[in-house]
Amino acid sequence: MDSLVVRKRRWVLTPPAFEKLLERLDPSRDLAGEKYERIRGRLVKLFEWRGCPSPEDHADETLNRIARKLEEGEQILDVYSYSAGVARRLTLEIIKEQEKARVALRDLPAPREVTRHAEPDQQRECLERSLELLAPESRALILRYYEAERSAKIENRKALAERLGVPANTLRIRVHRLRAKLERQVSECMRQSADRIR
């Protein structure tokens, strides 16, 4: 398998779907563009206020979901109000994903050479920053590998190997390599933080 994690087929915004969204906003193309940007700006602020990472991306995802609903034939009378409901549901999804990541991060051991002198908050911040630098498939893989508690962890890893279509040993090797890469990135982050403090 080329990809480390099997991805769900994700809907991609198409030009006709985007046109349908603009038409719903206003018959005038210029006014529709202005309304689109106004709604998008409000959504960015909403996601910022809720502490979501990448608020611009989430604003775009919200508008894409609305475009998809319109393309599927749903009647949306007020896109402005409807966008607030979609953003609320998306925020709940983000919170759920962040909680899963926190559980996985709790079990992901910090690099040995940086744990002696580092503050826990600094370690966590560097680990989270380093995870963001990984490719999305790699990040998802390492977080899934370390999620779950005790005995559930074994079943989780077995299921992950099956889903990827690889033997458990191959999965362990992949994760070991990813973890080594992650440790190097965390170490570099910790060194840079220490240099800034001096």
pLDDT tens string, the chain, 198 residues long: the values are 333 333 344 678 888 999 999 999 999 999 999 999 999 999 999 988 887 777 888 899 999 999 999 999 999 999 999 999 999 999 888 888 777 766 666 656 555 544 455 566 777 788 888 888 888 788 888 888 877 666 677 787 888 888 888 888 888 888 888 888 888 888 888 887 776 655
C-beta atoms surrounding 47 within 10 Å? 23
The CATH number of 108-197 is which of 2.40.10, 1.10.10, 3.40.50, 2.60.40? 1.10.10
Domain boundaries, the chain: 15-99, 108-197
Is 93 strand, coil or helix? helix
Token pair for 54: 């990448």
CA angle 2, 167, 137 (to 5 degrees): 35
